[in-house]
Structure 1
Amino acid sequence: MYFLESAITLFLGAFLLTYLTIPKIIRLVEYKRLMDDPNHRSSHKGKTPTLGGAAFFYTLIIALFFIKSWSTFDEGMYIIPGLTILFIVGLKDDLVVLSPLSKLIAQTLAVSFVLANEGFIIHSLNGFLNINEIPYFLYLGIAGFMMITIINSYNLIDGIDGLASIVGIVILVIYTTIFYLSGEYYYSLIGLTLNASLMAFFGYNISGDRKIFMGDTGSLIVGFIISVLTLKFLALKPQDYTELPFLLENAPLIAISILIVPLFDTARVFAIRLSQKRGPFSPDRNHTHHVLIDHWGLSHKQASFLIGTFNLIFVMLFIVLGSTAKNIGMVIMLVTVVIVLGYVFFKYNYNFSTLKQKIILRKKVDSLKTKIEKPTLKKLKKKKSDFKN
C-alpha cells in the first residue's frame, strides 16, 4: 500500500511539474530566440521552440531525492552525475551543435558512473545461448557498448512529432511493470517518473500552437534512463523472476524486443549510410519514420502511433513466446522479423540528391496542374456568367 501511495504521488507530481513548467520554457526560448530552424531534412516547416527536455532533467533530479529510501546500492548518486553530463551536452548541442565524437566521449563518461555501481553488475546470462558466468571486464565492455548504443538509438528516432514520446512511453510502461513484478520498486518509480514527464510533454509536442521539441537535451536523458533500466533488467537475479511472465534465460531477447524500434531503425540507417560510403552519423531522411511520411503519405501523428503500436505488439508477442519457448527458437524468429522488416524498408532508402529531385519534380507537377486548372476555371466562370445573362 505504501508503494502504491508513493507511486501515485510521484506520478502526479512529475506530470504536473513538467506540464506546468514547459510553457515557461517555451516563452523563454521564444524570448531568447533559441528556436529550432528547419532545414532541408527537417520534418517541420516553421521555427519551433526546443529544449523541452530540460523539464525531464530537474523532474528526475527531484524524484531521485524523494525515492532514495527505496534504493539498495545508493544508485541515485551514480545516476545523477550521468544525467547532469548528458543534460549539459544535450543543451549545448541544441544551441551550437556538437560533433558526434564530442557526444560519444560525454556518453562514455556518463555511462562509466553507472557501471561503477555494484547494483548493475551482470554476473550471468542464466543460460541464454548456453552463456552463464560473465567475467567482470567483459561485463564492463558489453554493458558500456549496450548503454551507448541505446542512448544513440533513442536520440536518432527523435525526428517527427510525438514519436520519441510514444516509443519512450511504451518502453517505460513495460520496464515499470517488470520492475514492479520483480520487487525492484526503486527502478519502477524511476520509470514511472520519466513516463509522467513524457506524457505531459507529449501534449505540447503534437500541439499546433504550443509546440515544443525535447531536443538532444531530452532525448539523451531519456535514452540514458532507458539504458540504465535495461542494464538493471539484465542484472536481475534468478529469484527476482518468480513473478515475471517469461523464462529467465529469455531476458536478453525480451530486452531487445522492448527496444526493437530504436535498435532496428539505427541498424537500418547505419547500414544504408555505410553502403553509400558515408559516415554512420551523416544526416539524411532514411529513418523509418521518414519513409512512412515521405513514401507512404502518413502524417506525423499517424506514423508515430503506428510505430508505437508495433513496438507494443512486438513486445507482447515476445513476452508470450518467452514464457515457454527456448531462446534458440526466439532468436531465429527475431532474426527473421528483422530481415523481413529490413527488406521491406531497404528499398525506400535515398539520399539528399534523389530527395531534392523528387521535391523539384513534385513542384513542377503542381505548377503544371495550377496552369491547366486556372484557364479551365476561368472558362467555367465565363460560361456560368453567360448563362445567367
Structure 2
Amino acid sequence: MEQFFLLGGTAFLITFLIFPVFIKVFKKRNFLDSPGGRKIHTVQTPSMGGLPIFIGFSIALLIWMPFEQLREVKYVISALTIMFIIGFRDDLINLRAYQKLLGQIAAMLIIVAVCDIRLMSLYGLFGVYEIPVVISYMLSGFTIIVITNAYNLIDGVDGLAASVGIISSLFFGIWFYLVEANAYAFLSFAVLGGLLAFLQFNWAPSKVFMGDTGSLLIGFFLSIVAIKFIEGNYNLPSSHPYRFDTFIGPAIAVLIVPLYDTLRVFIKRMLRGKSPMHPDRTHLHHILLRLGCNHAQAAGILVTVNVIFVLLVLVLKGFSDLVVLPALIITAVTLGTITEFIFKSMIDKRKEELRERNRTYRKEAKVISIKKSVG
C-alpha cells in the first residue's frame, strides 16, 4: 500500500507545485472563462485546470508504476490521452458537439474493442446474465459516453466535480488494491492525487476551473474504472471477502450525483418538449444556489449526499442488485423530490410576495391619483 500512497503523493505534489505557474500562464495568455449566459461565476477565471492534473498524473505513473503493469494499461492511458487532447482542444477553440462526440467515440472504441473493458453480462439484473457480444459492445460504449458527459455536466460549481472525482477514485483505488488489480489501483491513486491538488485551487472562491480538459478526462477515466469494477467484482469467487453481491449498485452509488442529476435534467427537459441536450440552469447545484447556498455549501451538500450513498451500498454489500438498485433509486428520488419541493415552495413564496408588493403599489398609486384629482 505504501507504493500507492507514494504515487498518489507524487501526483499531488507535482500538480500542486505547477498549478500556480499554469494559473499565471493562463492569465497571461488570456485563457480565461468569462462570466455571462448560463455561467454562475462573476469574474474571469483561468480554465484548463485539467492540464496540470494530467501532467502530475502522467509523471507520477512514470516514476512509480512498474513497467509490467504500465504495459497492461498502455492502451487505457492512450485512450485517456486522446480524451485529454479533445478537452484541451475544446477549451482552446470550441469544438462542435458532433466533433466532441466523434472524439469520445474514438477513445471509447479503444477501451471497448482494444482493451476489452466492457460489460459482458447484465449480472442477473431482470434475471438476465449472458448478452450477445454486439449488445455488450453497444451497452459498454453507451455507458462510457453517458458517464463521461454526466461528469462533465456537474462541473458547474466550485469544488463539486473535483470532490466527486476524489470520492470515486478513492473508492475504486482501494477496491482495486484489495483485490490485487494493481494496475488500475495505480491509475486511481494517480488521479486521486491530482484531484486533491486541484481542489486546493478550485474550492470556492475558485482560482482555476477544471474545464473540458479536466472534466472529460476524469469523467472518461471514471467510466473505465466503473466498468472494470463491475466486471471484476462479478468474476471474483463468491467467498472473496471484498466481493459485493450487488454488481451494478456500487458503481451507481459512487457516481450517483452526476448520473442522477443528468437523468433528472434530461427527463424534465423532454417533459417540457425540449431537447434533452438543450442547456439550462436546472441542475441540482443551480437549485441549491437559488435556495441561498453559496458555492461551498452547494458542493458540500452534494458531496455529503454522495458519501451517504457510498455508505449505503457498503451496508448493503451482501444484498443483490434486486435489493440495492431499488434502494438507491428510492433514496435518490426521495432526496431529489424533497429538494424540488423546497425549491418550488420558495419560488411560490417569492412570487406571492411579488404579487402582494405589486398590489400594494397599485393601491398606493390609485390613492395618489385620487388625491391629485380631488385637489
TM-score, length-normalised on structure 1? 0.82
Instruction: Find the residue that maps to 2:129 and give its secondary structure.
Output: strand
Equivalent pair of 2:119/2:139 in contact (CA under 8 Å): no
Residue equivalent to 1:340:
334
Could you report, residue by residue, the CA deviation over 1:31-84 in whole angstroms, capped at 9, with x for unpaired residues?
111110001322210000111100122233334444253539x44321233222
Equivalent pair of 2:172/2:188 in contact (CA under 8 Å): yes
Identity of aligned residues (%): 36
Q: 1:81 and 1:245, CA in 2 relative to 1: closer, same or farther beyond 3 A?
A: closer
Q: 1:111 and 1:58, CA in 2 relative to 1: closer, same or farther beyond 3 A?
A: same
Alignment of 1:33-72 (within 5 A): 33-65=30-62, 66-69=64-67, 71=69
Instruction: Find the residue that maps to 1:120 and give its secondary structure.
Output: coil
For residue 54 of structure 1, what is the amino acid of its counterpart? L
State the shift of 1:12 in Å. 1.5
Equivalent pair of 1:165/1:198 in contact (CA under 8 Å): yes
Equivalent pair of 1:14/1:196 in contact (CA under 8 Å): yes
Which of 131, 136, 140 pairs up with 1:143?
A: 140
State the shift of 1:122 in Å. 3.9
Matched, 1:156 2:153: yes
Equivalent pair of 1:129/1:327 in contact (CA under 8 Å): no
The whole-number CA distance in structure 2 between the counterparts of 1:241 and 1:193 is 30
Q: 1:165 and 1:278, CA in 2 relative to 1: closer, same or farther beyond 3 A?
A: same
Which of 225, 230, 233 pairs up with 1:229?
A: 225
For residue 58 of structure 2, what is the amino acid of its counterpart? I
> CA-atom RMSD, angstroms?
2.6
Q: 1:349 and 1:143, CA in 2 relative to 1: closer, same or farther beyond 3 A?
A: farther
Matched, 1:186 2:183: yes
Which of 280, 286, 295 pairs up with 2:282?
A: 286
Instruction: Find the residue that maps to 1:132 and give its secondary structure.
Output: coil
Matched, 1:115 2:112: yes
Q: Which moved more, 1:83-92 or 1:21-30?
A: 83-92
Equivalent pair of 1:68/1:76 in contact (CA under 8 Å): no
Q: 1:346 and 1:274, CA in 2 relative to 1: closer, same or farther beyond 3 A?
A: farther
Equivalent pair of 1:172/1:195 in contact (CA under 8 Å): yes
For residue 268 of structure 1, what is the amino acid of its counterpart? R
Alignment of 1:84-99 (within 5 A): 84-99=81-96
Equivalent pair of 1:246/1:322 in contact (CA under 8 Å): yes
Matched, 1:265 2:261: yes
Which of 210, 213, 216 pairs up with 1:217?
A: 213
State the shift of 1:11 in Å. 1.3
Matched, 1:106 2:103: yes
For residue 104 of structure 1, what is the amino acid of its counterpart? L
Matched, 1:328 2:322: yes
The whole-number CA distance in structure 2 between the counterparts of 1:68 and 1:150 is 29
Alignment of 1:172-211 (within 5 A): 172-206=169-203, 208=205, 211=207
Could you report, residue by residue, the CA deviation over 1:240-288 in whole angstroms, capped at 9, with x for unpaired residues?
87121631xx111111111110000001111122222222222211110
Residue equivalent to 1:380:
none
Residue equivalent to 1:311:
306
Q: Which moved more, 1:17-26 or 1:133-142?
A: 133-142
Could you report, residue by residue, the CA deviation over 1:300-319 in whole angstroms, capped at 9, with x for unpaired residues?
11111111111011111122
TM-score, length-normalised on structure 2? 0.85
Structure 1 residue ranges, 4+ long, deviating more than 6 angstroms after superposition? none
Q: Which moved more, 1:271-280 or 1:117-126?
A: 117-126
Which of 228, 237, 240 pairs up with 1:239?
A: 237
The whole-number CA distance in structure 1 between the counterparts of 2:45 and 2:239 is 45
For residue 142 of structure 1, what is the amino acid of its counterpart? L
Residue equivalent to 1:377:
none
Q: Which moved more, 1:133-142 or 1:214-223?
A: 133-142
Q: 1:102 and 1:77, CA in 2 relative to 1: closer, same or farther beyond 3 A?
A: same
Aligned length: 348
Equivalent pair of 2:7/2:61 in contact (CA under 8 Å): no
Matched, 1:11 2:8: yes
The whole-number CA distance in structure 2 between the counterparts of 1:90 and 1:327 is 34
Unaligned 5+ residue runs, structure 1? Answer: 369-389
Instruction: Find the residue that maps to 2:229 and give its secondary structure.
Output: helix
The whole-number CA distance in structure 2 between the counterparts of 1:240 and 1:36 is 50
For residue 320 of structure 2, what is the amino acid of its counterpart? K
Could you report, residue by residue, the CA deviation over 1:108-159 in whole angstroms, capped at 9, with x for unpaired residues?
1111111124552444444343222233222111111001100000000000
For residue 297 of structure 1, what is the amino acid of its counterpart? G
Which of 16, 20, 45 pairs up with 1:23?
A: 20
Instruction: Find the residue that maps to 2:124 and give its secondary structure.
Output: strand
